[in-house]
């Protein structure tokens, strides 16, 4: 069996490729990338894989049995067609199974919902492809909160609109373990699974960050409108409201689910104590 992973120049695609290499060997894993030059040190064959270039995709997927399609970053209206290009290329190249990295979240009433809806459309396209399939719905990455530690420390607090909502965060590394299982194990076919760790509040998140980085952060709930304005000022008109919408989803309980990680991988998701202890000095 030969496996391919798209977007291997990105962080999630790279992690999935690394876990697949561990499981089936580098000779049996092919990377696809929009920008192959961005891929360093994976030790596998990397082929062209721009979601906007159907002919390249079709050529690059020749000889592939199982494909992990990593969700793109384009605005929702463009993303659906990009993912369709990958699915159609997989069909015409004779790929047997496709696994799509989708996302959890509210499909209406938040500024993140158009992104969630576009992921739901690709889920539907995946199920309708006629190929064997599996779909993972990723929890929110926890790594950005760790990368943000200096900024949180400078403010002395985490301030957002999640309130006391719980969020089932995850890590790219744990997602990679789950996607390796999903693409290599046919017993997991035809399932849509939630991939996340134990849900925690923002206050708990502040506690974990405090312990790991000897910080003294508190959590402050702010209104949705204020948080969107704050994020838009820092991140711009496209990403700012999306981030605001994600935290609105947390406050509404959209990410407060135990998830299916253990059913997929055969073991519990890494605990947050364990994860944060890797940063403690
Ligand atoms: N769960 C979460 O919290 C969360 C947060 C953010 C994003 N996401 C989703 O998860 C996905 C993967 O995340 P990540 O951490 O790996 O992001 P990342 O490190 O920023 O990587 C994004 C990847 O997408 C590739 N890409 C962008 N446009 C493409 C196109 N037209 N065709 C092919 N590849 C394209 C980039 O390729 P280049 O090297 O050519 O730029 C890069 O490899 C994201 O794309 C997004 O859908 C999830």
Output the DSSP codes for 15-73. Answer: HHHHHHHHHH-GGGEEEEESSGGG--S--SEEEE--TT-HHHHHHHTTT-SEEEEE---
pLDDT digits (tens, 9 = 90+) for 147-168: 999 999 999 999 999 999 999 9
Residue 82 has pLDDT above 80, yes or no: yes
CA dihedral for 34, 59, 65, 137, sign (positive or negative): positive
Is the CB of residue 10 below 6 angstroms from any atom belonging to ligand 1? Answer: yes
Go through the domains of the chain in sequence order and give each one's CATH number.
Answer: 3-138+171-196+258-270 (3.40.50.720)
74 Cα–ligand 1 center, Å: 9
Q: How confident is the model at residue 48 (pLDDT cuts 50, 70, 90)?
A: very high
Give me the mean pLDDT over the 192-215 stretch.
98
Share of the chain above pLDDT 90, in %: 99
- Helices assigned H by DSSP within the chain: 11-24, 54-60, 76-93, 113-127, 143-147, 149-155, 172-184, 202-213, 224-235, 239-251, 261-265, 272-277
Structure confidence at residue 75 as a pLDDT band (50, 70, 90)? very high
Strand bridging mode 218-221 / 192-195: unpaired
Is the CB of 50 within 6 Å of ligand 1?
yes
- Decide whether any atom of ligand 1 lies within 6 Å of the 214 Cβ: no
What's the confidence (pLDDT) of residue 195? 98
pTM: 0.97
Please give the pLDDT value at position 49: 98
Whether 147 lines ligand 1, by a CB cut-off of 6 Å, is: no
Summarised one tens digit per residue, pLDDT across range 87-126 is: 999 999 999 999 999 999 999 999 999 999 999 999 999 9
CA distance 146 to 106: 24
User: To test the ligand 1 pocket, which listed residue (4, 5, 6, 7) has its Cβ within 8 A of the most ligand atoms?
Assistant: 7
Cβ of 52 closer than 6 Å to ligand 1, yes or no, is yes
Per-residue model confidence (pLDDT) at position 204: 98
Residue 248, pLDDT score = 96
Testing ligand 1's pocket by substitution, the residue of 72, 83, 105, 120 carrying the most ligand atoms inside 8 A of its CB is 72
Helix (H, G, I), strand (E, B) or coil at 88: helix
Query: How is residue 136 annotated by DSSP?
Result: E
Note the pLDDT of residue 164: 98
CA angle 197, 10, 139 (to 5 degrees): 20
- In this predicted structure, the answer to whether residue 280 has a pLDDT above a threshold of 80 is no
The mean pLDDT of the chain is 97
Which residues lie below 8 Å from residue 146, measured CB to CB, with a gap of 6+? 209, 212, 279
Q: What is the 8-class DSSP label of residue 99?
A: E
Instruction: Indicate if ligand 1 lies below 6 Å from the C-beta of 38.
Output: yes
């Amino acid at each position: 069996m030969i496996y391919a992973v798209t977007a291997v120049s990105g962080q999630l695609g790279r992690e999935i490729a690394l876990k697949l290499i561990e499981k089936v060997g580098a000779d049996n894993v092919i990377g696809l990338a929009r920008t192959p030059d961005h891929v360093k040190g994976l030790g596998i064959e990397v082929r062209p894989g721009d979601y906007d270039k159907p002919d390249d995709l079709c050529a690059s997927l020749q000889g592939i049995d199982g494909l992990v399609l990593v969700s793109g970053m384009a605005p929702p209206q463009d993303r659906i067609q990009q993912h369709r290009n990958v699915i159609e290329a997989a069909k015409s190249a004779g790929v047997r199974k496709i696994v799509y990295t989708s996302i959890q979240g509210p499909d209406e009433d938040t500024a993140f919902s158009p992104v969630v809806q576009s992921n739901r459309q690709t889920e539907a396209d995946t199920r309708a492809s006629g190929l064997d399939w599996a779909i993972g719905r990723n929890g929110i990455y926890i790594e950005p909160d760790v990368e943000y530690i200096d900024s949180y420390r400078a403010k002395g607090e985490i301030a957002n609109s999640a309130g006391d909502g719980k969020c089932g965060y995850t890590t790219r590394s744990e997602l990679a373990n789950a996607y390796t299982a999903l693409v290599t194990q046919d017993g997991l076919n035809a399932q849509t699974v939630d991939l996340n760790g134990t849900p925690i509040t923002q206050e708990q998140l502040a506690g974990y960050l405090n312990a790991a980085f000897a910080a003294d952060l508190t959590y402050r709930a702010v209104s949705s409108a204020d948080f969107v304005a704050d994020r838009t000022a820092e991140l711009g008109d496209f990403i700012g409201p999306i981030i605001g919408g994600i935290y609105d989803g947390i406050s509404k309980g959209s990410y407060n689910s135990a998830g299916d990680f253990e059913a997929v991988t055969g073991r519990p998701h890494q605990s947050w104590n364990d994860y944060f202890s890797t940063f403690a000095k």
